[in-house]
Structures are given as structure tokens and as C-alpha cells.
Chain A
């Protein structure tokens, strides 16, 4: 105990070196643990993004790409899937349910997903958890549902207005200022990209993109309006929509003829009276992808093949679980690289400590000689040096953990909103304890080098002070 106090006093007399050493170790420990923590939580977050969906179908593309845009809302589909094709598979006998999604817009950087209300019923994340509403309900026309993060960041609640813009960037070129959507519901936090998403109806998306599609807006449109609350504004919106260049508004195109068959979801909305034939109008001519739940899960592989070899339109179907793993494998190289880098940072920290200890040996030679003279054995000298290194490392580790938690606390919201990765302030995991243990043990062994030297010196020098 006396020896320990002596070591401490000696250490305090070399404060600057000690603090720098502690700092170097703290930073490397923080990196080492941080990398592990982020990658583990990313992995967990990954696996949790989607479940319960058997297949995701999009236009022919790479499976990872399809997964990225349909689930993570990153990037854009290279091509779309026609509504007819969607209909065809939606009515496939093997298909229990299907939900179309159309992407491409954003609100202040948050992706807009046009879909059907059924999305909220079928989408599952983590362990088959359904989406739940903190308040409100699924959207109807002219309405939108927002994820937890969106609601929080944009300060939205049920009844708020939201303006949707073209493009996925945070800076949008065209803002449909005149088309505010009313928030109908706010989703509970999931820790998945859903938190960053805004959900609107396919029909609304199509209207906004009216000019961009070779698809004229139908007359029933306005009938629909009557079936919704807030439709006065809607009518107004249409007249002033400068983007709908080819879009013939309401009253002018009652008799517009659609050359293609459409089924229309809102079919049953009191349209009986209008003179439109039996042709049902689709809510949108094409979609980005659709999620499929099968009657029988084991048949997914057959269904996947059937979709992949569909002749009428080139399609790609993926099983989300398998593709998530594929994506993770792609990223795990990066993870390994990070781990290696942080291991080297740690090594640098320890070598820094070694250098400091070795350098201090020279100035401490007198100290050692004094201790020897009053009866300290070479082993005491050895213990003194090793315990100093271990104390430095232990403090460094503690500071590193504190830094890590501080960083997580400060950066977690930013990481979540930027990368959709939830980094929690959870307790220290077994693996993290292990890593810390390894650092401590490594410091012990490394400090044996200067300690051994001091031991040898103290034997060789005897009581003479050689400078």
C-alpha cells in the first residue's frame, strides 16, 4: 500500500507525461469500443429493418440495390414496375398480401414513400413487430403518415400540414407549396428507416408528378375529392399546380380516354354514377417496388424464380433476409477494416506509453537508486514500474469509456438521423469488457519491457548513479 502511494506520488510528479499517456490510451480505447459498438448495433439494426415480408419485387436490378431503395430508402430505382405487373402478382394465388411502394420524393431530406394503407398492416420489423401509431391512423387521400424521427425533427403532429417536394435531396427544386398534405398519423419509433420516412398515398404522389408521367389524371379524381375532408383546398391546388403541364385539370377531362387498363383502388368510392367504363383507373401508372407476403413461406424460392423469369417485364425478386446478409457481408469488410484501424490505434497508444515509460526510466534512474539504497529490491522496482503502467492504462480505459459514453450521448441523434443506426447508451457488453481486459493485459506485458530494464539497471548499477 505504501508502495502504491509512492508510485502514485511519483506518477503525479510527472503529470504531463502521465496525462498524455492516459489521453492516448483513452482515445484508443474509445475508438476500439466505439467501432465495436457501432458495428454491433448496425448489425442488429440491419437484421431488424424488415421482417415478415417474404419477397421484395422491383424492376430488374441488383438485389442489394433493390433492398437499399425499397427498405432503406437509399438511392433510387433504376426502373419502375408497371401497375399491371403489380396487379398480376398481387392476384397470384400464392400471394397472401402485397403492398406497392413508389419512391422519389422527399421532404427536407426525409424520403417520401407512396404506398397503400395496407403497408401499416403488413410491414413488420425486428421480431415480427408491426408498426404502431403514437397518434392518428393510416393516411387517406391528401393525408400523410410520418415516422417518429420525422415528426420529432419537423415538429409534426396529427393535423399538421406537410409540403412534399420533388427529388430526394434536402434542397428541393420544386415545392408544391400549394399541395399541403395533412398529417393523419405519427408512427411509434422503430429504430429502422421507417422512422425517417413519410408515407403518402400512391394517388397523391401521382398527382404531384402528374406532369412527369405519361398519364393523364382522371376525372374521378375530383369525385374522390368529394369523398374526402379538406377537398376544397384540393380543387384549388389543382388549378394552381404549375407542374402539371400536361395535366388536364378536373372539369376539362371528364371524357378522357385511357388507352390502358387500370384497376382502381378507390373504385368503390361512390363512382357508380360517372360514365367511365369498367376500366378501373390505377392510382399510379408504375411503382418502384412491392412487398409480398406469401401463403406459404417455404414457397418463396419458387415464387422468386417465377418472378425473376417473368417474361412480360424484367423483374427482380429478393428474399429480404438473405439480401440483408449479403449487404452485411459487403459492409463487414468495412467493419473489419475499422476494427483493424482501431486495433492499430490502440497499439499506437500502448507503444506511446512504452516510449514514455522508457524515456522516464532515464530520469528515474536516480529515483530507483534511492529506493534501492533504502532497501527496495529489484522486484520492488519492477513492481513499481508495472503498477504505474497498469494504473495509467486502467485510468485511460476508464476515461476512454467515459469519452465513449459522452460521444454516444452527443452523437447518437446525429448518427440516427444521418445513418439510421441507433447507437444506444446500453451497459458495457461482455465483449467490451473483454476488449478492455485485453488492453489492460497488453499494458501489463508491454510495461514489463521497461520494468525489466529497470530491474537489470538496478542490479547492474548497484548503488552508483550513472548519468
Chain B
């Protein structure tokens, strides 16, 4: 709880095609190991904030420090590498490459990151072994592992996505409404599995949703409309 995982000051972001900034956040701080629910209605700039956190885009002004690294000081390529090494990202849907097997989809995260592989090697784990452990733990039946990802149910696909995000123990997981396509049971199951994994590996979790009923699963809820001062809610 000591150090900050995410620290932002005076973050402003404006899409090139727009005159009004989409984001203006005076201060954002998330501690390491915290599990945060980031809540906001659609259009409140959630996706934009996530792309800043993931280092895909950078703030137009202000500073954003993640894991002690000022992302704007990195060039595009190094920011991509930073994301590959330290951030697990889970989409709302379609997380997997449909033409690869479940197994290959999970290992893909290691293919793009030497750091994740090294981290596993330090614990005497092969990516394959870790992949199998995660899939088992996330209740993906073994007979599905070699199947093409597209043949799985949505709930299964989302759990495989969690496995991919978690493999190699990145410091930060960003999940962008990963449960919106799931029914209540699947959602609760998904959430508890995700929480378990993050807790045991001390991974910071930023979970985005528009669904306020989920807040009790998290340490803290950040209302984007409260911290974002653009006043724009398109």
C-alpha cells in the first residue's frame, strides 16, 4: 500500500480531431495492489483514460507516472514494450485471436514480452506450465485448451483473456468492462477469479464499468465524472 502504482497530475487529453479536451484530471493516484472500480457512464472518457494508462496514447499535457515510469518520456516503441511487460489488458469482448488455440492465445502475451518470460523463469516456471496453471485455476476445461478460441463461449473467452493478462505477473491489470457481456452468475464467478489472482500476486487492478452494483467487490470506487473536470459528457 506504500507506493503509488498510478500517479497523475493535471492530466489533459484532447483527441486530435476535437477542439474540447476529453479528459482533464487534476489528480489521480492509485496505490500498488489496490483494486479499483473506475465507474462512469459511456462517453465520460473511460476508454480514453484507459488508453492513457496503457500507454497507447499520451496526455496532451500533465504528467502520468505508472510504476514509477513517466510514460511521456518514453517513445512509442518503448511505451508499447512497457505495456507488454507490465500491463495486462482485458477488453469488453473479443479478447482472443479467433484463429489461435486457447493455449496459444495465452502464451501470446509472453511472445511479446521478454520480461514476462524472465519473471516466470525467475520462479522456475515455464510459460507453458504457468499457462496451464492459470487455465486450470480459471476453470477452463483441459479439453478446450487446444481448441480454436472462437469455439469457446463468451464467458470462457473472457476467462482465457484473464489468463493471458495475468501470465508473467504484470504489475497492473486494466479491465475494460470485461463482464458486460456476461450474465450475473458468470460475472460474479469471473470477478472472484480475477480478484483472487490479483490478490495472490499483489497485482493492481483497474476495473472499468458503468455498473455501480459491482462496487462492493473492490477496495475503492473512482467516479470518473467526479475527477474529470471537462464537464463534457457527450
Contact = CB atoms under 8 A, between A and B. Distances in A.
A433 B16 CA distance: 46
A370 B96 contact: yes
Given A9-B100, A367-B97, A370-B96, A377 B77 contact: yes
Interface in A307-325: none
Contacts of B54: 373, 462-463
B97 A376 contact: no
Contact of A375 (B47, B57, B94, B113): B113
A161 to B, nearest CB: 69
Contacts of A12: 99
A374 B112 contact: yes
A373 B89 CA distance: 6
A293 to B, nearest CB: 73
A53 B176 CA distance: 86
Nearest to B95: A370
B68 to A, nearest CB: 19
B169 interface: no
A382 to B, nearest CB: 12
B140 to A, nearest CB: 18
Interface in A10-34: 10, 12-13
B99 A463 contact: no
Interface string B87-108: 0010111111111100000001
Contacts of A380: 80
Interface string A188-206: 0000000000000000000
Contacts of B85: 375
B80 A377 contact: yes
Contacts of A9: 97, 99-100
B40 to A, nearest CB: 14
Contacts of A340: none
Interface string A437-467: 0000000000000000000000110111100
Interface in B32-77: 47-48, 50-51, 54, 56-57, 76-77
A464 B51 contact: yes
Contact of A465 (B16, B56, B94, B108): B94
A465 B98 contact: no
Contacts of B99: 9-10, 12-13
A374 B83 CA distance: 7
Contacts, number: 79
Interface in A349-369: 366-367, 369
Contact of A370 (B16, B47, B48, B91): B91
A379 interface: yes
Nearest to A11: B99
B47 A462 contact: yes
B188 interface: no
Nearest to B52: A462
Interface in B110-140: 111-113
A2 B111 contact: yes
A376 B80 contact: yes
Contact of A377 (B50, B76, B91): B76
Contacts of B57: 459, 462
A366 B94 contact: yes
A1 to B, nearest CB: 10
B109 interface: yes
A435 interface: no
A378 interface: yes
A380 B83 CA distance: 14
B89 A374 contact: yes
Contact of B47 (A2, A371, A376, A464): A464
9 contacts: A6-B97, A6-B111, A10-B97, A370-B95, A377-B80, A459-B56, A463-B50, A463-B51, A465-B91
Interface of B: 16, 47-48, 50-51, 54, 56-57, 76-77, 80-81, 83-85, 89, 91-100, 108-109, 111-113, 164, 176
Given A374-B83, A374-B84, A376-B84, 20 more contacts: A6-B97, A6-B100, A6-B111, A12-B99, A366-B94, A370-B91, A370-B94, A370-B95, A371-B97, A374-B89, A374-B112, A374-B113, A375-B113, A378-B76, A378-B80, A380-B80, A462-B50, A462-B56, A463-B51, A465-B92
